[in-house]
Amino acid sequence: MPRRSIDFPAWLAGRVQHIETVLDQVLPPATTTPARLHESMRYAVLGGGKRVRAALVYAAGEASLQPGTAASAQEIALDHAAAAVELIHAYSLVHDDLPCMDDDALRRGRPTVHVQFDEATAMLAGDALQPLAFELLGMMPIAPALVVQGTQLLARSTGSLGMVGGQAIDCASVGCTLTPEALRQMHSMKTGALLEASVLLGGIVAGAGSSARQGLETYASAVGLAFQVVDDILDVTADTATLGKTAGKDAAGNKPTYVSALGLDGARGLLKDLHAQARAALLPLGPAAAHLGCIADYIVGRDH
Amino acid sequence: MPRRSIDFPAWLAGRVQHIETVLDQVLPPATTTPARLHESMRYAVLGGGKRVRAALVYAAGEASLQPGTAASAQEIALDHAAAAVELIHAYSLVHDDLPCMDDDALRRGRPTVHVQFDEATAMLAGDALQPLAFELLGMMPIAPALVVQGTQLLARSTGSLGMVGGQAIDCASVGCTLTPEALRQMHSMKTGALLEASVLLGGIVAGAGSSARQGLETYASAVGLAFQVVDDILDVTADTATLGKTAGKDAAGNKPTYVSALGLDGARGLLKDLHAQARAALLPLGPAAAHLGCIADYIVGRDH
């Protein structure tokens, strides 16, 4: 597939900078009562992260934008959707890092929320980030029927049959050998569901029709899985400083990964297939999907 | 205010039985993967609880129902709204009971979720109940604009400026003396916000106009506070077997309560005032609000 000549790094850097501003605005100020809770929510969300989910929302919005629709309302709606998925992602990291879960002290090169604050505050920060995400979706200035679709999508993808369900399977599978199929199922819930929701939310907000949504779904599914395969590869090939989190932790914790299931070469082969699937799914969307294509390249490229 | 001759206990028992059936249906079966997570969610939600919040949704729906609207769609919508507030309430109890929070082993006369299962499962159960509540609201078969209003309301009332914020203030205030005003603020967030949201959700779903909503708001605010005042009184006057949870825990934990701030007589005087406020707010709503009035009596009557 021919690649368009676009300055993707500049676009991505611009989106990352923009979503930081949006997140700073939608989070209550650290001085608002209860101040310690709001401080911890801001600590959990701001000042770090690759913002891949926000970038997927924006890029899918670009790919789906209908001519003649009010651009400013859509821009605001995409900001809300992008912020919502980043808030959900941040909450999930805060809870995953807690002692009763992964018990991790380092995240994005900084102390995790329960280390910086305390366990109760970390749990409550996560608990409060979640409804803020739904509140933001509810404030999107687009047709209420689309708002409801977006809310439904985010709710399903983050619940017991999505992200949290995947986390529960992950917890239960420590020390077990999962088949590649069971591993795929777990990751498609734990990591894939929110990445997919990010892509589809961008499409919904921008008014994507059913054929465009189908392309986005195939793309999202491949990219969501690719993301996890790369994470598993990096867990054994990168060091802690590069990752900003503890390297080798999955292997040491005897967690099933794509590398443990398929070997390093097998995992890299799967990654290559997923990359091709994602790229192919974008073909019908044309040049407007260029940034989505670049994000797929970027995610796969984290391995290098 | 004259009381209508209605069989409130029978109505309440019927609603409690009905919402149990609804909750049983909306929760994924315990056999669905991840089974342990779904078991724990069902354990947390089913088979106990006074269902005050669900009853408030139904009674406020009755009080606000517009003539000529499709009754069956409204009934389904009220079921979803009632289930949503009960799921949120259940999640908040599961997280409040965790060792890093109140560290309570007993709830509704049974082991708490983290005792019955484990801490990680309890946290994930709470995390998954929350989006299920928003998913249910999104499935209400009423005008999408009303669905969005309801979602917004639930999100705000459960976030850092509502329920979770109140919990954070409560955690931070252990061992402190709060002024009656600060105590009122904390409880209006921690307990009041969700009770108020329950009343207003019923009104929104049933298409209440602005004057009816105003009456519901005043009622809800008084009832929300009364509920906490009764809880504080019961903490010092009732025993563990009656409460189904550990009695005297707040006093022993040096937590500020209405009894510690106002004394037992002062707390009972406040309760009487709140009861009168709630009753007065219902007058403009007429006989359709009879069950709301009875719920106010019922909440206040828990003290006897």
Of A33, A127, A168, the CB nearest to B37: A168
Question: For a pLDDT cut of 70, what percent of chain A falls above it?
Answer: 91
- Residue B289 forms part of a structural domain: yes
Please name the member of A38, A148, A164 whose beta carbon is closest to the beta carbon of B124. A164
Query: Alpha-carbon distance B145 to B147, whole Å?
Result: 5
Question: In this structure, is residue A1 part of a structural domain?
Answer: no
**Interface touch B137/A131, C-beta < 8 Å:** no
Quick check: is A3 in a domain? no
- Mean pLDDT, chain A, as a whole number? 91
Hey, are the CB atoms on B144 and A139 less than 8 Å from each other? no
Longest dimension (CA), chain B: 55
CB contact under 8 A, B37 and A165: yes
| Most B CBs within 10 Å, among A160, A185, A187, to test the B interface | A160
| A28: chain B residues, CB-CB within 8 Å | 160-161
CA distance linking residue B22 with residue B27, whole number of Å: 9
Model confidence over A118-165: pLDDT tens digits? Answer: 999 999 999 999 999 999 999 999 999 999 999 999 999 999 999 999
Instruction: Give the single-character DSSP code of A106.
Output: E
Residues in CB range of A123: below 8 A, 6 or more apart? A94, A95, A98, A114, B95, B98, B100, B101, B123
CA distance B153 to chain A (A): 8
**A124 at the B interface (CB within 8 A)?**
yes
Most confident of A200-209, B230-239, B294-303: A200-209
For B7-51, what is each residue's pLDDT tens digit? 999 999 999 999 999 999 999 999 999 999 999 999 999 978 899
The ipTM of this complex is 0.92
* Tens-digit pLDDT profile for residues A91-111: 999 999 999 998 999 998 899
Q: How far apart are CA A59 and CA A16, in angstroms?
A: 12
Report the residue from A98, A144, A156 with minimal CB separation from B135. Answer: A156
pLDDT surpasses 80 at A66:
no
Q: Do B152 and A135 make contact, defined as CB atoms within 8 angstroms?
A: yes
Cα Rg of chain B, angstroms: 19
DSSP-assigned letters across all residues of A25-64:
HHSPPTTSSSHHHHHHHHHHHSS----HHHHHHHHHHHHH
pLDDT surpasses 80 at B249: no
User: CATH number of the domain that A17 lies in?
Assistant: 1.10.600.10
Q: Residue B93: which domain range?
A: 8-301
Q: How far is A100 from chain B (nearest CA, A)?
A: 5
Q: Is residue A173 part of a domain?
A: yes
Residue B149 Cα, gap to closest chain A Cα (Å) = 8
- Assess if residue B1 is contained within a domain: no
Q: Check if A197 contacts B (Cβ < 8 Å).
A: no
Query: What chain A residue is nearest to B182 in terms of C-alpha separation?
Result: A33
Q: B168 lies in a domain?
A: yes
Say if B271 falls within a structural domain: yes
Please report which confidence band the pLDDT of residue A241 belongs to, taking 50, 70 and 90 as the band edges: low
| Closest CA of chain A from B222, distance in Å | 22
Residues 205-234 of A with CB under 8 A from B: none
Kindly give, in sequence order, each residue whose CB lies less than 8 Å from that of residue A236, ignoring residues fewer than 6 positions away.
A248, A251, A257, A259, A264
CB contact under 8 A, A165 and B137: no
What is the total count of domains within chain A?
1
Question: A194 in a domain, yes or no?
Answer: yes
Q: CA of A30 to nearest chain B CA: how many angstroms apart? A: 11
pLDDT level of residue B304 (50, 70, 90 thresholds): low
Q: Is pLDDT at B243 greater than 70 in this prediction? A: no
Q: What is the pLDDT of residue B114?
A: 96
Q: pLDDT (tens digit, 9 = 90+) per residue, B184-217?
A: 889 889 999 999 999 999 999 999 988 899 999 9
Q: A158 and chain B: CB distance < 8 Å anywhere?
A: yes
Q: Looking at the partner chain, which of A41, A120, A154 has a beta carbon nearest the beta carbon of B160?
A: A41
Alpha-carbon distances, residue B196 vs A156, A256, B270, B273 (angstroms): 26, 46, 18, 18
Per-residue pLDDT tens for A8-57? Answer: 999 999 999 999 999 999 999 999 999 999 999 999 999 788 999 999 99
- Tens of pLDDT, residues B63-95: 998 776 677 889 999 999 999 999 999 999 999
